[in-house]
Amino acid sequence: MKKLILAIIFAITFVSSGFSQDSTKTNKANNINIWADLGAGFYSNTNFFRLGTAAWMNVSHNNTLFKFRYEFMDEAINWGAQPVEFSKNYALMVGRIKGNEFVQVSATAGLGLLTGVQRGNFLYTKPGVIFGTDYYEEKKINSICLPFEFDCAFKPLPVLAFGASITGDLSPKQNTFGMLVKVGVGLFPEN
């Protein structure tokens, strides 16, 4: 929960600086747009199903999109196995963005860092009243990854967007794919 609150504060801090300027003149003259997204959804890999949250910081210039993404993924269902598997992803991506004043689509790819915890070899079972708890070795993940993302957003207001994102990370340690819904606030492109 603390991580989600920090992501919201991060997004509001950086997006609010864009609103302190005359957005119509700056946006049209430079074709530079800045906005933040917050999202939640489902992730999957070969081992388990996860729930996750993500925060994005987006900057576009003409049709080029630069994106910073932070994702936190945790096991959706854990029947007592320890340690709980989770991962964090930090990614810098670049891509293309197209759209009009109501809809925008984008595709991005880049380079990222994947950290987290996976279960290793089985150690023992601790009996419980109804179910026992299985304990495994804790394996730390630290790996470079290749993130990619496809977005589609509907913009009902010039500074608000609702959308969906298909995201993935290719890594030697753990490949992850997901689908998220998200809300964006900021100065969106009208290309």
Higher pLDDT, 171 or 4: 171
The confidence band for 134, taking pLDDT boundaries of 50, 70 and 90, is: confident
CA distance linking residue 71 with residue 56, whole number of Å: 9
Mean pLDDT for the stretch of residues 61-65: 91
For 151-168, write each residue's pLDDT tens digit.
999 999 889 999 999 998
pLDDT of 129 > 50? The answer is yes
Q: 55 vs 18, 50, 74, 135, CA distance in Å?
A: 18, 17, 15, 32
DSSP code, position 82: B
Higher pLDDT, 128 or 168: 168
CA distance linking residue 112 with residue 71, whole number of Å: 11
Instruction: Assign 171 to helix, strand or coil.
Output: coil
pLDDT of residue 82: 82
Higher pLDDT, 51 or 92: 92
For 79-123, write each residue's pLDDT tens digit.
778 888 888 899 999 999 998 889 999 999 999 999 988 888 888
pLDDT of 124 > 90? The answer is no
Residue ranges of domains in the chain, CATH in brackets: 2-186 (2.40.160.20)
Q: 107 vs 125, 150, 151, 170, 177, CA distance in Å?
A: 45, 5, 6, 16, 15
Return the number of other C-beta atoms located less than 10 Å from residue 163's C-beta.
Answer: 20
pLDDT of 76 > 50? The answer is yes
Q: Angle 53-59-60 (CA atoms, 0-180°, nearest 5)? A: 125
Question: For the chain, what's the residue count?
Answer: 191
Q: Of 133, 2, 139, which Cα lies nearest the Cα of 78?
A: 133
- Residue 181 gets the label, from left (phi > 0), alpha (psi -120 to 50) or beta, of beta
CA distance linking residue 180 with residue 28, whole number of Å: 30
